[in-house]
Chain A
Amino acid sequence: MTFELSEDILEAILNTGKETVRVSSLEDLASGDKDGFGKAVTCLKDNGYLKESADGVSLTDKGTTKAAQIARKHAVLASFLTEVLGNEPDTASKEACLMEHTVSTETIDKLDTFLEERNPAEPDVRHNHHHWRRNPAQNPREHDSDHHYAGYHRHDPARDPGEHEVGHARLTKRNPIVPLSECSEGSLLHVAMIKCFSKNSRLIDLGVIPGELITLRRKLDNNAVVITVKGCDIALSPEVTENILVERCNPQ
């Protein structure tokens, strides 16, 4: 029980989109079991998933990765339940909440591929901009698989991000792919792709690669930003920012 509750806590913090969350605001998850909730939080802190400060708790890098994995499982399962089985979205979401704790990453990946193949976008659109999924390389367990990159496609950068909704019927309806310059301060983001790559190859060196989880630390009104990637803060000019396409990690 504590295990599932812990995962729910991580996911809930990620979903708030805030860096620091007050513990009291999470107590709904406990469903009356205050003891269990306290234990879960302590356990998360001990294992380095959460850190506590005066303002509340926040996710560590490790915790963020974990939370993002769970959020992805949730999104894929919910899509499957609504689109393939035709469940009501509300029920689907609740059931996805239960299943997300036990399902393996392999199953989720296969399910995701299945959904993608079953429901391709209109042919002419698909030809030009492929469905984007989170880079499977994020998961170390998949590191050895041959189709390491096969599931990861680029889409046509020249198109308006809004158009991607056609090709990304499921995940992207919640999480459209947008330029980094359009995100707000404090949001947690997955890098989807980098446009004009050859001009920005320094980004790879710093670890800003598709699939990487980044935090938007600071954004000035001219869209110059500071992001945190791999624990380091990186300042970017506006012209670089608009070339980085990201997906918001906290499905609303």
Chain B
Amino acid sequence: MRKAVLIGNPSVGKSLIFNQLTGLGVEVSNYPGTTVGLMSGIVKYGGAEFTISDLPGIYSISGKSEEERLVREYLVTDDSVLIVVVLDAKHLERNLYLLLQVAEFRKPLVIVLNMMDDARSAGKIIDGAALSAKFGVPVIETIATEGKNLEKIAEYVLGDDLPIPKIVPRYDHHIEAAAKSLQKYHNLSEAESLFALENVSLSTLSPEVMENAAVVSAEIEKRHMMSPEQIIGANRHNTAKSIAEEVTSIAPQKKRRDFDSLLTRSFPGIPILILTMIGILLVVFIVGGFLEDTIVGLMTTYISEPFHALGLDPLIDTVGGAVILALMSGLGIAFPYVFLFYIFISILEDTGYLTRAAFLADRGMHHIGLHGQGLIPLVLSFGCSVPAIMSTRFLPTRRERIIASVLVTMLPCSARTVVISGIVASFVGFGAAFSIYGIIFILVFVLGCILSKVTPGEQYGMILEMAQLRKPIPKYVFRKAWMRVREFLYIAMPLLLASSVVLGLLEHYGFVAMFESFIDPISNAVLGLPGFAFTSLLFGILRKEMAFETLAIMGGTADLGAILTGAQLYIFALVCVLFVPCISTIAVLMKEIGAKNAGLITLFTLTLGISVGAIFHGIFMIL
């Protein structure tokens, strides 16, 4: 089966093309050994089929980021792929830079000129035929939002005419000479010799080649007062510029309103940003909470209760009940929170507002070692940690992804808010409930400051392209949200099921009771909590609210004030909120930042929750 890959700058409509070609049958997998997501799907066209992968959006393939390295390796090592380069016709010149780089691999390639409609309304008419002649490969002009001409991509991939690009950018003659001699002595391809000169590592380049290239590079740098990397970059940009000028003709522009004068100024930009974030949070909080109650309520009435009423063998009853509980927890997060949040996030993303928000938030995020893009996970985390952690993949560096993930797991999600309001606000008082929020915010801030100092990896400034402001298309917004839900269920369900069944069995065979009597003295000494309260905290890892529900069940009364003192309830809520994220969160953490880091975060929050609880127990004792 033929194999094609989509390559292009971020937000050129690559994913849209991918989605339209593949439909919903898409697999999300990781590149081996990394957390960079690779979307692959099968395209059926005219009785034949081929696989297509959507490589991450990049501006260049010679950079140091994980994404760039992956695309580079992919192109060097995989000989069978057909390259589909997607260009934004409106920003042709900038997009040609990447195309020129990719063309140097001398592999079958087709150019997709997307957003032809946008380019036209911006007053640019691109001559596709001229561009095709320049590169010696076919050019397909598309409007992905309308699905226009996308079938031609499939026709090309399945067809027999697969020309190799012939364009050669003109490089500075020292660079050309150096590249030629590297090619000759080390038997390298054009692209490889340039990578070597740019000091870009590649699995096919031996240390010896890199060393030789470094010597030549140093000489060139001395002569030009400029590194080969910069010279090669400037040469490519010049080639891109002259090609763009040759194939573009100017037409009258359509007027468009400049919303950026509102959105990117401190005023009214920041108030708009705050209102947007609070608005989203409130809607998700209220609607999400309602949906979750409905889903859990319906499942309890129509599945759980009838199942228990069957009066099956106690063991089967326990396992079945645990499975139902896991399904309830998973679905209770998936639809109300993941789906709803991703609808909003897709809207923010597709409208282009997300990049403006990141620009404005950049300053505040700096204190905690993050950049503007870090705002999204942090805001999301107030609703649900799961989509918040899933959204950390928008962050440019691994360092930021780790910092954001740690902070996200600590911020109170809506389930934890239920615990705080259900226990502390109801039985202790509003002031006490707010003080828990205060404690968490202080901890998050302090931790952010510490993490920004100790997390490995360099801190880069934000360099972020502002996406074009445009109207989102509902169909794709829903499709994106649905993909996230599927992804979440796929990664979280197995863990949820397993842990729920294990907990159920432990309870069934009396281990929970044993644990309770074992932990009772320790729990009493450290936290001042009776054993049953600590045990119910364990159930919180399935769903945070379950700690609260279990406490009521184990205490035998819904009037918690009657069985525990105010101080005990306060400590219970504090520990519950801080310690160990729920299983779904852990599953997503494992997916995004690796099992080791997920384990460390879990261990850290466990320690933190218990220590903070112990400190407060100490304070209450003294008082």
Tell me the A residues contacting B by CB distance below 8 Å: 47-48, 51, 53, 60, 62, 130, 135, 137, 140, 143-144, 146, 148-150, 152-154, 197, 199-207, 209-212, 217-218, 220-222, 224, 226, 229-241
Contacts of B543 in A (CB 8 A): none
Among all A-B residue pairs, the 4 with the closest Cβ atoms: A48-B250, A237-B461, A240-B461, A205-B60
Q: Which A residues touch B466, using CB under 8 A?
A: 226, 232-235
Q: Which residues of A contact B225 (CB under 8 A)?
A: 130, 149, 152-154
Given contacts A149-B172, A197-B230, contact A202 B63 (CB under 8 A): yes
**In the complex the two chains form, what is the Cα distance from A152 to B170 in whole Å?**
18
> A203 contacts B458, CB within 8 Å?
no
B149 contacts chain A at the CB level, 8 A cutoff: no
- A208 and chain B: residue at smallest CB distance: B463
> With contacts A204-B60, A221-B266 known, is A51 near B253, CB below 8 A?
yes
Q: A140 touching B461 by the CB < 8 A rule?
A: no
**Are A140 and B242 touching (Cβ within 8 A)?**
yes
Look across to chain B and name the residue whose beta carbon is closest to the beta carbon of A139. Answer: B238
Nearest A residue (CB) for B101: A205
Known contacts A153-B225, A220-B363: A137-B463 contact under CB 8 Å: no
Interface string of B456-471 (1 = CB under 8 A from A): 0010111111100000
Q: Are A231 and B94 in contact (CB under 8 A)?
A: yes
Enumerate 28 A-B pairs (CB-CB under 8 Å) in ascending A order: A130-B225, A135-B234, A137-B234, A200-B460, A202-B59, A202-B63, A204-B230, A204-B237, A205-B60, A205-B63, A207-B93, A209-B230, A209-B237, A210-B230, A211-B234, A217-B264, A220-B363, A226-B264, A230-B91, A231-B91, A232-B465, A234-B463, A234-B465, A234-B466, A235-B359, A236-B464, A237-B362, A237-B461
Report Cα–Cα, A17/B56, bound state, in Å: 39
Contact B372 A235 (CB under 8 A): yes
In the complex, B120 has a CB within 8 A of chain A: no
Interfacial chain B residues near A130, Cβ < 8 Å: 225
Could you say which residues of chain B place their CB within 8 Å of the CB of A204? Answer: 60, 229-230, 233-234, 237
- The closest CB in chain A to the CB of B467 belongs to A233
Q: Are B97 and A207 in contact (CB under 8 A)?
A: yes
Chain A contacts for B237, CB-based, 8 A: 204, 207, 209, 212
B residues in contact with A197, CB < 8 Å: 227, 230
Give the residues from 263 to 300 in chain B that come closer than 8 angstroms, CB to CB, to chain A.
Answer: 264-266
A209 to B225 alpha-carbon distance, docked (Å): 14
State whether A231 and B90 are in contact (beta carbons under 8 Å apart), knowing that A220-B363, A237-B371 are contacts in the complex.
yes
Give B83-105 as 1s and 0s: 1 = Cβ < 8 Å from A's Cβ atoms.
00000001101100110000000
User: What residue of chain A has the Cβ atom nearest to residue B251's Cβ?
Assistant: A48
Q: A232 to chain B: which residues have CB within 8 Å?
A: 91, 94, 465-466
Check: B409 CB closer than 8 A to any chain A CB: no
B452-505 residues at the A interface, CB under 8 angstroms:
458, 460-466
- Residue from A143, A218, A239 within 8 A of B264 (CB atoms): A218
Contact A149 B242 (CB under 8 A): no
Q: Determine which residue in B225, B234, B242, B372 has the highest number of CB atoms from chain A within 10 A of its CB, and name it.
A: B234
Contact with A along B237-261 (1 / 0, CB 8 A): 1100110010000100101000010
Chain B residues near A199: list those with CB within 8 A: 458, 460
Interface of B with A (CB < 8 Å)? 59-60, 63-64, 90-91, 93-94, 97-98, 123, 170, 172-173, 224-227, 229-231, 233-235, 237-238, 241-242, 245, 250, 253, 255, 260, 264-266, 355, 358-360, 362-363, 366, 371-372, 458, 460-466
Chain B residues closer than 8 Å to A238, beta-carbon distance:
363, 461
Please judge, given known A-B contacts A62-B250, A140-B238, whether A205 and B97 are in contact too, CB under 8 Å: yes
A220: chain B residues at CB < 8 Å are: 265-266, 360, 363
Besides the known contacts A205-B59, A217-B264, A231-B94, 5 further A-B residue pairs in the complex with CB atoms under 8 A apart = A148-B172, A149-B226, A200-B463, A205-B97, A232-B466
**Cα–Cα, bound, A143→B246 (Å):** 15
Q: How far is the CA of A153 from the CA of B221 in the complex (A)?
A: 11
Distance A153 CA – B359 CA, assembled complex (angstroms)? 33
B238, B255, B363, B465: the one within 8 Å of A53 (CB)? B255
Instruction: Find the B residue at minimum CB distance from A137.
Output: B238
CB-defined contacts of B460 to chain A, threshold 8 Å: 199-200, 202
Candidates A48, A152, A226; contact of B359 at CB < 8 Å: A226
A239 neighbours in B (Cβ, 8 Å): 461
A206 contacts B363, C-beta separation under 8 Å: no
Residues of A within 8 A of B242 (CB): 140, 143
Question: Closest residue to B361 on the A side, CB-wise?
Answer: A224
Shortest distance between the CB of A217 and any CB in chain B (Å) = 7
Whole-angstrom distance between the alpha carbons of A62 and B251 in the complex? 13
Given A140-B241, A224-B362, A232-B91, A210 and B465 contact (CB-CB distance below 8 Å): no
A197 to chain B, nearest CB (A): 7
Q: Which residues of A contact B253 (CB under 8 A)?
A: 51
CA distance A209 to B224 in the complex (A): 15
Residues of B within 8 A of A224 (CB): 359, 362-363, 462
- Whether the pair B260, A218 counts as a contact (CB closer than 8 A) is yes
**A201 and B234 form a contact (CB under 8 A):** no
Question: What's the least CB distance linking A79 to chain B, in Å?
Answer: 23
A207 touches B63 (CB 8 A): no
Q: Which of A51, A200, A210, A234 has the most CB of B within 10 A?
A: A234
What separation, in Å, do the CA atoms of A232 and B362 have in the docked complex? 20
The answer to whether B170 touches A144 (Cβ under 8 A) is yes
B247 to chain A, nearest CB (A): 14
Closest to A239 in B: B461
Residue among A51, A143, A200, A206 making CB contact with B94, cutoff 8 Å: A206
A122 to B450, CA, bound (A): 48
Question: What residues of B have a CB within 8 angstroms of the CB of A237 in the complex?
Answer: 362, 366, 371-372, 461-463
The answer on a CB contact under 8 Å between A210 and B234 is yes
B64 pairs with A201, CB closer than 8 A: yes
Residue of B nearest to A229 (CB): B94
Q: B463 — nearest CB in chain A belongs to which residue?
A: A202
